[in-house]
Amino acid sequence: MIIAAVVLLAPQLAVSGNVYDVNCDGAITSADVTALYNFMLNNDQTYVATADVNGDGAITSADVTVIYDVLLNGMPVPERLVGGDISMLTKYEEGGAIYKDRNGNIINNVLAFFGDQGWNAMRVRLFVNPENASETHKREGVVQDLAYVKALGKRIKESGYALVLDLHYSDTWADPGAQGVPAAWPKNDVEALQDSVYNYTKRVMQEMIAAGARPDFIQLGNEITGGMLWPTGQVYPTGGAPEGGSWENFAAYQHSASTAVREVSPTTKIILHVEMHNINQPGGFFANCESYGVDYDVMGLSYYSAYHGTFANLNAALNKMEVASSKPIMIMECGYGYAWALPGTNYDLTATYPYSNEGQKNFTVAMIAALKQHSRVKGLFWWWPEANEFNIPWSNHVTGSWWNGSLFNNNNGIAQDALYEMKQFL
Q: Where are the domains of the chain?
A: 6-72, 78-425
Topology match between the domains 6-72 and 78-425: no
pLDDT digits (tens, 9 = 90+) for 157-178: 999 999 999 999 999 999 999 9
| Type of residue numbered 277 | H
DSSP reduced 3-state for 59:
strand
Mean pLDDT throughout 340-364?
A: 96
Residue 209 pLDDT class (50, 70, 90 cuts): very high
Confidence (pLDDT) at 267? 96
pLDDT band at 10 (very low <50, low <70, confident <90, very high): very low
Contact assessment for residue 379 and residue 357, using Cβ atoms and an 8 Å cutoff: no
Report percent pLDDT > 70 for the chain: 95
| pLDDT score recorded for residue 12 | 35
What amino acid is encoded at 358 in this protein? E
Determine if the peptide bond prior to 182 is cis (ω within 30°). Answer: no
Residue 329, pLDDT above cutoff 70: yes
Structural contact between residues 334 and 380, judged by C-beta atoms closer than 8 angstroms:
yes
Q: Please, which pLDDT band fits residue 18 given cuts at 50, 70 and 90?
A: low
- In Å, what is the CA distance from 253 to each residue of 110, 226, 417? 37, 13, 41
Mean pLDDT of all residues in 80-101: 98
Quick: pLDDT tens for 22-49. Answer: 888 877 888 888 888 888 888 888 888 8
Mean pLDDT computed over 115-142: 98
Mean pLDDT within 54-82: 81
Answer whether CATH 1.10.1330.10 is correct for domain 6-72.
Answer: yes
Residue 74's pLDDT band (cuts 50, 70, 90):
low
Q: Categorize the per-residue pLDDT at 11 as very low, low, confident or very high, splitting at 50, 70 and 90.
A: very low
Cα–Cα distance between 311 and 389 in angstroms, integer? 31
**83 phi, psi to nearest 5 deg:** 180, -150
Q: How far apart are CA 264 and CA 132, in angstroms?
A: 28
List the beta strands (DSSP E) in 183-224.
Answer: 217-220
Residue 334: what pLDDT? Answer: 98
Would you place residue 137 in the very low, low, confident or very high pLDDT band (cuts 50, 70, 90)?
very high
The model's pTM: 0.86
384 pLDDT above the threshold of 70: yes
Q: Give the pLDDT confidence score for residue 67 in this predicted structure.
A: 83
**Residues 107-116: what's their mean pLDDT?**
97
Average pLDDT, the chain: 93
**Cα angle for residues 87, 93, 98 (degrees, 5° grid):** 120
DSSP track, 210-276? HTT---SEEEESSS-TTBSSBTTTB--TTS---TT--HHHHHHHHHHHHHHHHHH-TTSEEEEEEE-
The string of pLDDT tens digits covering residues 263-290 is 999 999 999 999 998 999 999 999 999 9
Neighbours of 133 (CB within 10 A): 21
Please provide the CATH number assigned to the domain covering 78-425.
3.20.20.80
- Dist. CA 169–CA 230, nearest whole Å: 11
| pLDDT on residue 75 | 60
Are 24 and 47 a contacting pair, CB within 8 Å? Answer: yes
On the CB side of 201, CA atoms within 13 Å amount to 29
Which are the contacts of 100, defined by CB distance < 8 A and separation ≥ 6? 106, 107, 412, 413, 414, 415
pLDDT grade for 217, boundaries at 50, 70 and 90: very high
Helix axes 190-210, 146-158, angle to 10 degrees: 40
pLDDT score, position 424: 98
Q: What's residue 242's pLDDT?
A: 97
Helix pair angle (357-371, 311-324), 10° resolution: 30
